[in-house]
C-alpha cells in the first residue's frame, strides 16, 4: 500500500520525504536475511530469549570459571539445603552480601545429620576470587572463579547432593553436555534428514515412495521406548566421551525424520518452479541445482525447524539419562542430576534436587520462544 | 473403501514385520548372550566350564542355530502368545498382561481427555481472540507443548505434597491396594489418577489447542462465514455447522501421531509416579538386560502405536473421501 501511494505521489520532495524514501528503499533492497532479522527484532520476547540462550551457551562453554566449585568436589556437607545470602547483620547493619557458617550436627532423636547455622562465623561474598584450582577444558590450569566466599565459608546456592557436591556448580557443569548434545544431535540429524529427504524430494518416484514409508514407519512407533532400547546396549564400561557421541547418534536416528519431512516437501515444491526448470535446461547438474538454487529457497524453514528440534534433542537426552540409560554418573548432565529426583521420598526431603528440572524447563522455553520468533520472521505473509 | 482398507492393512503388516525384525536385531547387538553371562558367573565361582558344556548349553537354548531361525521361532511364538520366560523366571506374557490393561486404559483416557478439553478450549480461544481467556489458553498450550510431562510431574508431585499433603504415586493407597471394589476404593483411584492423567495429557492438549485455534481462525476469516453472517444465520449455529467441522479434519488426522506420543510420554511419567504400566517394566527389563522381556514389551508398545495410527487413518478415510482415493486407488 505504502509503495502505491509513493508512486502516485508526484509532488516535489522535501528533505524529510527523502529520508523516508531512503529508509523505504533500504527495505526493498534488503536481503531475505536482513528482512528476517528486522522482523525478529520486533518480537521482544524472542529477542530476549535469544540473548539468554547466547548467555547459556557461553556459560556452558566456560563453566569452570562461573562455577564456585568443581563438580566433583566434596563440600563436607551432605544433603545441605541452599545457603541463604544475607545483606544485613542481625542488628540491622548493612554489610554487603555475606553468608553464615554452616555446620552439620547429628540430631540425637532422628539420627539424621542436620545443618546448623553458626552465626559467629561470617564470610563475605567476593567476585573474581582465586579459589579451587581447575583445568579449563581439561587443559589450561587456572584458579579464577567468577564468585565465591572468602575463607572457609561454603556458598551452596542450590544445596548439595548425597555426596556433598555443590549442586549449583554441577548444574553449570551439566550444561556443557546437555546444551551441546542438542546442537550436535540436531547437526547429525540435519545431515541425515537433508540427504534422505533430499533424495526423496528431488528424485521423487520410487525413491520418494520408499523413503516416505520409512518416515511414516518411524513416526508411528513410540520414540522413547525405542531410544531406551538402543541406549541400553551401550556398554557400561565406555568412557564418557564415547557414551556422549553414541547417545547423540541414537537420538538422531529417530529425530532426522522431522527434518527429512521438511526437506522433502520443500524440494518437491521447489523443483517444479520455473527457476529450477530453467537451471536444468541450461545444463546445470543436479547437485548444483540443489545447492545453488533449491537450498537457499528453503533455508529459512530449515533454520526454524532446527531451532525447534534442538530442545527436543536436549529433552531426549535428559529423559534417557534420567532413566539411567543415557549418560551415567561420572558424567554430569542435567538428566544425570535429575536421577536424584527419581523417587518421591527424595523430592519431598530434598526439594532443591529438583532445580535441574527448572533449568531444563527454562532452556526449553527459551528455545521455543526463539523458534516462534524465527518462524514468524521467516514467514513472508506475516 | 474396502480397497483402501485392504491396502492399509497390508502396509501395516509389512510395517510390523520390519519392526519386529529391527527390534530382534537391536536386542541381539550387545556382545555376549545369556550363555556367556552364565559361563562368566560360573567361572567367577571357581567352576571350570568346558567347551562341550558351553556347546550343550547353547544347543539347549537354541543359540547355535542361525539368526533367521531364531527370529522365526521368536515371532511365531509371539503370535501364539508364548513370549518365553523373563530373567526373573516368570512368564513374560503374564508380566505383560498384568500391566497391559492399565496402560491401555491410561492411554485411552488420556486421548479422550485431550480431545474433550482441547477442542472446546481451542474454539473458545479462536472465537475470543486476544481476550484474557485466549491468552491463558495459548499460554497453557505453550507450556504444555514445550515442557515434557515428566518434569511437570516431578514439580507437581512436590507441590501437591507440600500444599495438600497428598501422597501420589501408584494407582491406590496402600490400604486399598488389594481391597475389593467399593465406593472408597473408586474415590481413592480417582484421587490417584488425575495427577498422572493431567501430566500425560498436558503436552498433547497444548498442541491440540494450538492447532484447533489456528485452523478455526483460518476458517473464520473465509468469505462464506461473512456471507452466512450477512444472511442472518445465528452465530452459534453458523460456528458449529461449518467452520468447526472444517477445522476438525486436521485434528482427526492428528490422532495418528497422538497415540504413539501418549505411549511415549507415559513411560517416564509412569516411572516417576510409580504407576504399574508397561513403561517401568520396560525400563527395568532394559537396565537388567532381560532380553526376552524387553523385546516383547517393546514389540507390544510399538504395535499399540501402529494400531492407533491405523484407527485414525480409517477414521480419516471415512471422514474425507479425498484421502481414500489418493492413498487407496
Which runs of consecutive H residues, i.e. helices, occur in B221-290? 223-230, 235-241, 243-253, 255-273, 278-287
B158, B161, B280, B294: best to mutate for the A interface, most A CBs within 10 A = B158
Answer whether residue A201 shows pLDDT above 70: yes
- By C-alpha distance, the chain B residue nearest A310 is B146
Residue A213: half-sphere exposure toward Cβ, Cα within 13 Å: 16
* Among candidate residues B253, B247, B148, the one with its CA nearest the CA of residue B203: B148
Per-residue pLDDT, averaged over A187-200, amounts to 86
CB spacing of B19 vs A217 below 8 angstroms: yes
B316 or B234, higher pLDDT: B234
**Each residue of A9-46: pLDDT tens digit?**
445 555 555 555 666 666 666 676 777 787 777 777 78
Sign of CA pseudo-dihedral A345, B298, A219, B304: negative
Task: Give CA–CA dist B36/B41, Å, rounded.
Answer: 8
Q: What are phi and psi of A126, to 5 degrees?
A: -130, 150
> If you search the block for the grid coordinates 474454539, which residue do you land on?
B123
Contact A222 B260 (CB under 8 A): yes
Residue A3 is predicted with a pLDDT of 47
**Considering CB atoms only, which of A221, A325, A358 is closest to B306?**
A221
Q: Average pLDDT, stretch B224-233?
A: 85
Q: What is the pLDDT of residue A264?
A: 83
Chain B residues within 8 A of A222 when measuring between CB atoms: 260-261, 263-264, 267, 301-302, 304-305
Q: At what angle do helices B255-273 and A223-232 cross, to 10 degrees?
A: 50
**pLDDT tens-digit readout, B66-95:** 777 777 877 787 777 777 666 666 777 888
Q: Look at the block and give the residue holding cell 527436543.
A: A312
Phi, psi of A165 (to 5 degrees): -95, 145
Could A233 and B157 be called an inter-chain contact, meaning their C-beta atoms sit closer than 8 Å? no
pLDDT of residue A61: 85
All residues of chain B having their beta carbon less than 8 Å from the beta carbon of residue A225 are: 263-264, 267, 279, 282, 297-298, 301-302
Of B145, B101, B154, nearest in space to B269 by CA: B154
Element (H, E) at A319: helix A295-322
Report d(CA A217, CA A220) in Å as an integer.
5
Q: Does A342 reach chain B within 8 Å, measured CB to CB?
A: yes
Residue pointed to by grid coordinates 542438542: A182
Rounded CA gap, B61 and A15, in Å?
Answer: 92
Q: DSSP per residue over A81-106, as a string? A: PPPPPEEE-TTS-EEEEEEEEEEEEE
> Among B110, B267, B309, which would you mutate to test the A interface (most chain A Cβ atoms within 10 Å of its Cβ)?
B267
Residue A346: closest C-alpha in chain B:
B158
Predicted local confidence at residue A196, as pLDDT: 87
DSSP at B320: -
* Span B10-41, pLDDT tens digits: 878 888 888 888 887 777 766 555 566 666 66
Query: B278: which residues sit within 8 A by CB, 6+ positions away?
Result: B96, B99, B100, B103, B267, B270, B297, B300, B301
Q: Is the pLDDT of residue B65 over 70?
A: no
Q: What is the pTM of this model?
A: 0.76
Q: Is the Cβ of A211 closer than 8 Å to some Cβ of chain B? A: no
Phi, psi of A127 (to 5 degrees): -100, 155
pLDDT at A365 over 80: yes
Q: Which of A362-371, B70-79, B165-174, B245-254 has the highest mean pLDDT?
A: A362-371
Residue B129: strand, helix, or coil: coil
Chain A CB contacts of B283 below 8 Å: 228, 323-325
The pairing of strands A140-149 and A113-136 is antiparallel
Whether B15 sits inside 8 A of A217 (CB atoms) is yes
Average pLDDT of span A267-284: 81
- Touching A: B residues 138-177, CB under 8 Å: 142, 145-148, 150-151, 154-155, 157-158, 161-162, 167-169
Q: Above 80 in pLDDT, residue B101?
A: yes
CA distance A242 to A234: 9
From chain A, the residues in CB contact with B26 under 8 A are 229-230, 233
Comparing CB atoms, the residue among B157, B264, B283 nearest residue A344 is B157
Name the residue in chain B with its Cα closest to that of A322.
Answer: B268
- List the one residue out of A372, A370, A352, A361 whose CA is nearest residue A159: A352
Cβ <8 Å between B145 and A368? yes
Is residue B258 predicted with pLDDT exceeding 70?
yes
Distance CA B270, CA B290 (A): 20
Residue B168 contacts residue B74 (beta carbons within 8 Å): no
- If pLDDT is split at 50, 70 and 90, which confidence band does A7 have? very low
Instruction: Please tell me the predicted confidence (pLDDT) of residue B212.
Output: 84
- Cβ distance B154 to A225 less than 8 Å, yes or no, reads no
Q: Which three cell numbers stand for residue B253?
A: 488426522
- pLDDT, tens digit (0-9, with 9 covering 90-100), for A144-178: 777 777 767 777 777 777 777 888 888 888 888 88
Q: Do B158 and A323 count as a contact with CB atoms less than 8 A apart?
A: no
Whether the complex's predicted ipTM surpasses the cut of 0.90: no
Question: Is 80 exceeded by the pLDDT of residue A360?
Answer: yes
pLDDT (0 to 100) of residue B119: 86
Average pLDDT over residues A210-224: 78
237-296 of B, contacting A, C-beta below 8 A? 256-257, 260-261, 263-265, 267-268, 271-272, 274, 279, 282-283, 286-287, 289, 294
Residue B174 has pLDDT above 70, yes or no: no
Most confident of A26-35, A124-133, A363-372: A363-372
Nearest residue on chain A to B256, alpha-carbon basis: A220
Task: Please judge whether A222 and B305 are an interchain contact, meaning their C-beta atoms are less than 8 angstroms apart.
Answer: yes
Beta-carbon contacts of A362 under 8 Å, excluding residues fewer than 6 positions away, are none
Residues B269-282: what's their mean pLDDT? 80
C-alpha to C-alpha distances, A57 to A183, A303, B59, nearest whole angstrom: 11, 18, 55
Distance CA A144, CA A130 (A): 5
Contact between A357 and B19 using a beta-carbon 8 Å cutoff: no
* Residue A219 or residue B324, greater confidence: A219
* A357 has a chain B CB within 8 A of its CB: yes
Give the mean pLDDT of chain A.
77
> Which residues of chain A form beta strands (DSSP E)?
86-88, 94-106, 113-136, 140-149
CB contact under 8 A, A354 and B167: no
Confidence check: pLDDT of A237 > 70: yes
pLDDT at B166 over 70: no
DSSP E strand boundaries for B1-102: none
Q: Is pLDDT at B44 greater than 80 in this prediction?
A: no
- Is B31 touching A (CB cutoff 8 A)? yes
Q: What is the pLDDT of residue A221?
A: 74
- State residue A373's pLDDT score: 79
Q: What is the mean pLDDT of chain B?
A: 76
- Residue A174 has what pLDDT? 86
Please state, in angstroms and rounded to a whole number, the distance separating the CA atoms of residues B17 and B71.
11
User: Do the beta carbons of residue A247 and residue A320 sit within 8 Å?
Assistant: yes
Query: Tell me: the pLDDT tens digits for B284-318?
Result: 887 777 777 878 888 888 887 778 777 777 777 77
CB count within 10 Å of CB A8 equals 7
**Closest partner CB to A351 (pick from B15, B158, B304):** B158
By percentage, how much of chain A surpasses pLDDT 90? 0
- In three-state secondary structure terms, A330 is coil
- Cα(A174)–Cα(B267) distance, integer angstroms: 24
CB A278 within 8 A of CB A255: no
The Cα–Cα gap between A169 and A205 comes to: 54
A222/B263 Cβ within 8 A: yes
Amino acid at each position: 500500500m505504502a509503495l502505491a501511494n509513493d508512486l502516485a505521489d508526484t509532488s516535489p520532495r522535501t528533505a524529510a520525504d527523502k529520508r523516508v524514501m531512503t529508509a523505504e528503499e533500504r527495505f526493498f533492497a534488503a536481503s531475505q536475511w536482513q528482512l528476517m532479522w528486522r522482523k525478529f527484532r520486533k518480537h521482544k520476547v524472542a529477542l530476549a530469549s535469544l540473548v539468554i540462550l547466547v548467555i547459556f551457551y557461553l556459560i556452558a562453554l566456560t563453566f569452570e570459571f562461573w562455577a564456585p566449585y568443581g563438580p566433583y568436589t566434596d563440600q563436607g556437607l551432605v544433603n545441605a539445603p541452599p545457603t541463604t545470602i544475607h545483606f544485613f547483620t542481625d542488628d540491622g547493619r548493612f554489610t554487603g552480601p555475606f553468608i553464615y557458617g554452616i555446620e552439620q550436627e547429628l540430631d540425637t532423636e532422628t539420627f539424621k545429620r542436620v545443618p546448623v547455622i553458626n552465626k559467629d562465623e561470617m564470610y563475605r561474598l567476593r567476585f573474581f576470587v582465586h579459589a579451587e584450582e581447575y583445568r579449563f577444558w581439561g587443559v589450561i590450569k587456572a584458579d579464577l572463579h567468577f564468585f565465591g566466599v572468602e575463607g572457609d565459608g561454603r556458598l551452596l546456592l542450590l544445596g548439595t547432593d548425597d555426596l556433598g557436591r555443590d549442586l549449583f556448580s554441577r548444574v553449570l557443569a551439566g550444561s556443557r553436555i546437555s546444551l551441546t548434545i542438542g546442537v550436535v544431535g540436531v547437526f547429525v540429524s540435519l545431515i541425515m534428514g537433508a540427504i534422505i529427504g533430499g533424495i526423496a524430494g528431488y528424485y521423487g518416484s520410487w525413491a520418494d515412495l520408499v523413503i516416505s514409508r520409512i518416515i511414516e514407519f518411524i513416526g508411528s512407533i513410540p520414540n522413547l521406548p525405542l531410544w531406551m532400547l538402543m541406549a541400553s546396549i551401550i556398554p557400561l564400561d565406555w568412557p564418557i566421551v564415547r557414551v556422549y557421541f553414541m547417545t547423540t547418534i541414537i537420538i538422531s536416528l529417530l529425530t532426522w525424520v522431522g527434518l527429512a519431512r521438511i526437506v522433502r516437501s520443500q524440494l518437491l515444491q521447489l523443483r517444479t518452479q520455473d527457476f529450477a526448470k530453467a537451471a536444468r535446461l541450461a545444463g546445470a547438474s543436479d547437485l548444483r541445482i540443489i545447492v545453488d538454487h533449491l537450498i537457499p529457497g528453503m533455508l529459512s524453514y530449515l533454520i526454524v525447524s532446527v531451532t525447534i528440534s534442538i530442545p527436543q534433542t536436549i529433552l531426549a537426552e535428559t529423559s534417557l539419562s534420567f532413566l539411567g540409560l543415557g549418560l551415567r554418573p561420572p558424567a554430569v548432565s542435567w538428566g544425570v542430576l535429575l536421577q536424584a529426583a527419581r523417587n518421591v521420598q527424595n523430592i519431598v526431603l530434598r526439594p532443591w534436587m529438583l532445580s535441574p528440572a527448572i533449568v531444563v524447563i527454562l532452556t526449553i522455553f527459551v528455545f521455543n520462544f526463539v523458534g516462534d520468533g524465527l518462524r514468524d520472521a521467516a514467514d513472508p505473509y506475516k | 473403501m474396502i480397497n483402501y482398507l485392504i491396502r492399509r492393512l497390508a502396509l501395516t503388516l509389512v510395517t510390523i514385520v520390519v519392526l519386529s525384525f529391527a527390534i530382534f536385531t537391536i536386542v541381539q547387538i550387545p556382545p555376549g548372550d545369556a550363555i556367556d553371562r552364565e559361563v562368566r558367573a560360573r567361572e567367577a565361582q571357581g567352576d571350570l566350564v568346558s567347551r562341550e558344556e558351553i556347546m550343550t548349553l547353547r544347543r539347549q537354548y537354541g543359540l547355535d542355530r542361525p539368526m533367521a531361525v531364531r527370529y522365526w521361532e521368536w515371532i511365531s511364538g509371539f503370535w501364539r502368545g508364548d513370549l518365553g520366560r523373563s530373567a526373573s523366571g516368570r512368564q513374560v506374557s503374564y508380566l505383560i498382561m498384568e500391566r497391559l490393561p492399565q496402560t491401555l486404559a491410561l492411554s485411552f483416557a488420556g486421548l479422550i481427555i485431550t480431545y474433550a478439553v482441547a477442542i472446546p478450549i481451542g474454539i473458545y480461544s479462536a472465537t475470543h481472540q486476544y481476550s484474557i481467556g485466549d491468552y491463558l489458553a495459548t499460554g497453557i498450550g505453550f507450556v504444555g507443548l514445550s515442557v515434557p510431562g515428566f518434569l511437570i510431574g516431578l514439580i507437581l508431585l512436590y507441590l501437591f505434597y507440600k500444599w495438600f499433603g497428598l501422597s501420589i504415586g501408584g494407582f491406590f493407597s496402600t490400604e486399598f491396594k488389594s481391597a475389593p471394589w467399593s465406593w472408597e476404593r473408586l474415590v481413592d483411584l480417582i484421587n490417584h489418577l488425575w495427577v498422572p492423567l493431567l501430566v500425560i495429557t498436558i503436552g498433547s492438549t497444548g498442541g491440540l489447542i494450538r492447532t484447533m485455534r489456528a485452523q478455526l481462525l483460518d476458517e473464520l476469516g473465509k468469505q462464506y462465514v461473512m456471507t452466512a453472517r450477512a444472511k442472518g444465520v445465528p452465530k452459534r449455529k453458523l460456528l458449529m455447522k461449518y467452520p468447526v467441522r472444517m477445522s476438525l479434519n486436521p485434528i482427526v488426522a492428528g490422532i495418528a501421531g497422538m497415540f504413539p506420543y501418549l505411549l511415549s510420554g507415559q513411560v517416564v511419567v509412569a516411572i516417576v509416579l510409580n504407576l504399574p504400566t508397561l513403561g517401568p517394566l520396560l525400563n527395568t527389563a532394559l537396565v537388567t538386560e532381560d532380553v526376552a522381556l524387553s523385546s516383547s514389551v517393546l514389540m507390544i508398545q510399538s504395535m499399540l502405536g501402529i494400531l492407533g495410527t491405523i484407527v485414525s487413518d480409517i477414521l480419516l478415510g471415512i471422514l474425507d473421501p479425498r484421502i481414500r482415493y489418493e492413498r487407496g486407488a
